Structures are given as structure tokens and as C-alpha cells.
Amino acid sequence: MSIKLAVLFGGQSHEHPVSLMSVTSVLNNLDKKYDIYMVGITASGCWYHYSGPVSDIENGDWEKHPDNTEIILSTNPEHHGFYEIENNKYVYVHVILPILHGRNGEDGTIQGLCQLANIPCVSCDLTSSAMAMDKEFTHLIAESYGVPMAKYVALHRRDYHNPDELYDRLVKMLGLPFYVKPSKEGSSFGAHKISNHEDFVKGFDDAFKYDDKILAEEFISGTEVGCGIMGDDTVGEVFEIVVETEMYGYAEKYDGYKTNIYVPTKNLSKEQEEEVKRLSKVVYKALGCDVLGRADFFASDRIIFNEINLIPGFTSHSLYPASFKGAGMDYTTLLNNLIDIALKRGTNE
């Protein structure tokens, strides 16, 4: 009997377009052994079973498909799948693969639904996902395990009543330049480099559009590096990102704008690469992760932790598949291994 695999894409987050890019690559590389049940989630939160061509997903045309059937994920473990409202029937699935980035997908919400439904999910669990999504919580946990990181301060919207005073305080604490970013957002949405007071006003106003809590972080000179992790502690090859712009932002990540990615790294020593792998596993295990993640660092005079993503990008040029390709694992095998891990974990629970 073939494995019925539900693949979720889209979602209610600012990273909805990124999900459409990622899932297109995933669907084009999945092993033919799976019976795939595609589930598209609109930006407004409607769930549909989508049976149209994969080529219509990335540009958003999937939403116009006439055969779309509205569905809900049943939280009754006996159903173990989805209810198609129009057809008045339940569809059993063996495992769910959420290719959902950001809020309402990467932050424990989907993982909690799968837990209630008792369906294996190709993702870390609710608690790990929620902690990893919040950069302040991730930093607090990583700090407690002795992981080096930049100086930082978490700021709530209520702290922003006197911008001039806050700017002076942050410059004193972090120096110039420093970075700001939403605490629970990805793909560099709302992230800004602050070099002066004008940058500060614009950058903080924008960051608060994405979250009520933001992080201000010390600037670390160096390249961005990291590696993928799967299962308990299997790591991919270390990657290095070299950009010609001031930061590795949205355009650099998804449009290939003045970006070079090296796997293996171009400028790190073997000792530094091993330190990236070691610290990746420390953070991953500290958060209770056991399926997949991608840990990101800065490489300067030492390796400095940045953040961890538990549903990293899966586009054709994304860092997570590139990390494992560098370790000799092709895209299809990577997906097979992740699905196997989730199924085995579900059997043991």
C-alpha cells in the first residue's frame, strides 16, 4: 500500500509566496512512491484540496482551479485526515508534510493540529516549533547552554513611547550599526540595519508592523554560515553566504540578488566548520528538535549564533537542501528520509 502524503502549502503569513516557491520544488522532487494529497491554504485561511498542475502553484493560479474542494483537518484521531465538505467524506492520510513558513505554519499551530489528530507531521513538535519561532526565547535557551551570540535586547511595542531615548540607550548598549528584526518573523521581513537615527525611526516602525516584539542586535562583522540538521543529530555540510549588499535580505534569499552560496565554505577553516556543526546540534537539541531544522551563524573571529529555522526554505536554491546535497544526499532522498523520520516518530508516540 502506498503512503498517502498530505502536502500543505501557502498559509496565513507574510511568507505565503515563499511557501509557494518551496512547495513547487518539493512536489517536483518527491518520490513517485507517494500518493500525494495537495492542500492549499489561502492567505485568508481557507483550506482546499488542490488537484491541479504543480506549475500553477508558484504564481498563485492554483486558487482559481475549478476543482478545488474546501476541506478541514479533522482533530478526531479516528479520521486521521481531512474532511471534504462538498463531498461529505473523510480522506485518510498517513503523514502530513507542511511546507509552511512563518506564522501559522512554522510556529507550532499546524504541529498542534497534527498532534490532536494523531497524524505524523514532518516537522518538530508544537513546543520546539513555538520556541524556535520566537527569537527571544531561542536566544534565552541558547544562552543557557553557553552558545555564543551577539548582544541583544528584546523590545515590546509599549517600550517605544520615547524613540529618542530608546535610540540613545540602544546605541550605548549595542553600538552602531546594529540590527532590528521582528521576534517572530522570517525571510528577513521587517529586518533592518540601523546606522543612524533616521534608519532607527524607519526601521523600528517597519519592524513593529510585523510583530509586537522585536529584537535589537549588535552588528557582527563576518559572513553568514550554517548547516542543515535532520533526525536526532545528522548534520549536512556547512554553507557560507557571501553577499555584495549590506545584509542577506529577501531579495538576496529568493531572487539570487548579488548572492553567492558556497557548499562547502570558501573562507572557513575545518575547525570553524566543525564548530558550526557542534553548535547547531547544541541549539537543536536544547530546543527539543528531532525532525529537521537549519541553524544559522555569523563567522567572524568566532562562530556566533544567529537563529534556527524549523521549516527552512525548500526552493531549488535554498540552503537546507544545498547543505545536504553538499554531504552527498540528493533532494529526493532528503525528502524520503525526513518523511521516514516523521513516520517512525509517530509510531513510537
Q: Is 142 within a domain? A: yes
Q: Please indicate, yes or no, whether residues 143 and 234 belong to a single structural domain of this protein.
A: yes
pLDDT per position as a tens digit, 167-181: 999 999 999 999 999
Which pLDDT value is given to residue 162? 85
Q: Is 126 within a domain? A: no
Number of other residues whose CB lies within 10 A of the CB of residue 61: 12
pLDDT per position as a tens digit, 3-49: 999 999 999 999 999 999 999 999 999 999 999 999 999 999 999 99
Q: Whose CA is closest to 8, among 314, 232, 337?
A: 314
SS (H, E, C) the chain: CCEEEEEEEECCCCCHHHHHHHHHHHHHHCCCCEEEEEEEECCCCCEEEECCCHHHCCCCHHHHCCCCEEEEECCCCCCCEEEECCCCEEEECCEEEEECCCCCCCCCHHHHHHHHHCCCECCCCHHHHHHHHCHHHHHHHHHHCCCCECCEEEEEHHHCCCHHHHHHHHHHHHCCCEEEEECCCCCCCCCEEECCHHHHHHHHHHHHHHCCEEEEEECCCCEEEEEEEECCCEECCCEEEEECCCCCCHHHHHCCCCEEEECCCCCCCHHHHHHHHHHHHHHHHHCCCCCEEEEEEEECCCEEEEEEECCCCCCCCCHHHHHHHHCCCCHHHHHHHHHHHHHHHHHHC
Q: Please indicate, yes or no, whether residues 233 and 341 belong to a single structural domain of this protein.
A: yes
**Which structural domain, as residue segments, surrounds residue 181?**
152-218
Average pLDDT, the chain: 93
Which one of 162, 191, 218 terminates a domain? 218
Q: How far apart are CA 275 and CA 312, in angstroms?
A: 21
Which pLDDT value is given to residue 196? 96
Which three cell numbers, joined as nine digits, stand for 142? 541558547
Which one of 218, 246, 261 terminates a domain? 218
Q: How far apart are CA 25 and CA 58, in angstroms?
A: 10
- Under the phi-then-psi rule, with left for phi > 0, alpha for psi from -120 to 50, and beta for the rest, what region is 58? alpha
Q: Please indicate, yes or no, whether residues 264 and 144 belong to a single structural domain of this protein.
A: yes
Q: Please indicate, yes or no, whether residues 175 and 280 belong to a single structural domain of this protein.
A: no
Q: Please indicate, yes or no, whether residues 335 and 253 belong to a single structural domain of this protein.
A: yes
Q: How far apart are CA 257 and CA 250, in angstroms?
A: 9
Residue 69 sits at φ, ψ, to 5 deg, of: -120, 125
Q: Is 115 within a domain? A: yes
The better pLDDT of the pair 196, 189 is held by: 196
Tell me the whole-structure pTM to 2 decimals: 0.93
Preceding amide of 177 cis, omega within 30: yes
CATH number for position 201: 3.30.1490.20
For residue 52, which amino acid is it?
G
Q: Please indicate, yes or no, whether residues 284 and 140 belong to a single structural domain of this protein.
A: yes
Which pLDDT value is given to residue 248? 46
Give Cβ neighbours of residue 301 (< 8 Å, ≥ 6 apart).
Answer: none
pLDDT per position as a tens digit, 252-291: 444 554 688 999 999 999 999 999 999 999 999 999 999 9
Q: Please indicate, yes or no, whether residues 226 and 182 belong to a single structural domain of this protein.
A: no
pLDDT for 246 beyond 80: no
Q: Please indicate, yes or no, whether residues 18 and 41 belong to a single structural domain of this protein.
A: yes
Which pLDDT value is given to residue 271? 97
Cα–Cα distances in angstroms (integers) from residue 243 to residues 207, 246, 317, in the given order = 22, 8, 15
